[in-house]
Amino acid sequence: MNFDEKLQFIYCIKIQLLAGSTQIAALQFALSRINDSFLPETRKSISLRSEIFTAMKNDAVEFEFRALADYALLMQASANSGASISQPLSNLASTMIRNRTQEQLLTTELASTKATILVLAGLPIIGSGLAMMLGSQSINWLFTTGVGRGCLLIGIALELLGWTWVQRLLATALRDPL
């Protein structure tokens, strides 16, 4: 499920609850609006009238839909206390939107960094190409002399080390958003 489908799913439940539907009816309505291959355990538990909270939590893990697990907890708390979950559902949807906005901002911010990395990684190749076009014998020197081969190996090793380092930094930034 993509983000929009997940958000629409939560809003469908909220709208049905505001219209006076029961929680199961609201969940069935939301399930009817998404692809049949999504959330199979939840669908099965509704049809069998079995433990729905566990099924929802399992589907949440399988489909990486944390809001569904949160909704299962809200539903369980509401079933135990009789409290309305309309406002918590609104908060859940707002949190989903806020998290999505943060992810998009982070992706946008990192796009320029990634472009800079690609340009910097390509500079040695561009420089070597320009040297060849100008008639410099630097490429010949790199491949035919011992010192040249040593410089070439050191340069390649530093390039790979730098590339690995930057990839780890980017992975950390994507994994741990502000």
Per-domain residue ranges of the chain: 3-84, 104-175
Measure the CA dihedral 85/7/104/36, to 10°.
Answer: 140
- Taking the chain (178 residues) in consecutive chunks of 10 residues, what is each chunk's mean pLDDT? 86 87 89 91 91 91 90 87 81 85 83 83 85 82 89 91 86 68
Question: pLDDT value at position 167?
Answer: 84
Q: What is the pTM of this model?
A: 0.60
Question: pLDDT value at position 106?
Answer: 81
Question: pLDDT value at position 31?
Answer: 92
Question: pLDDT value at position 176?
Answer: 62
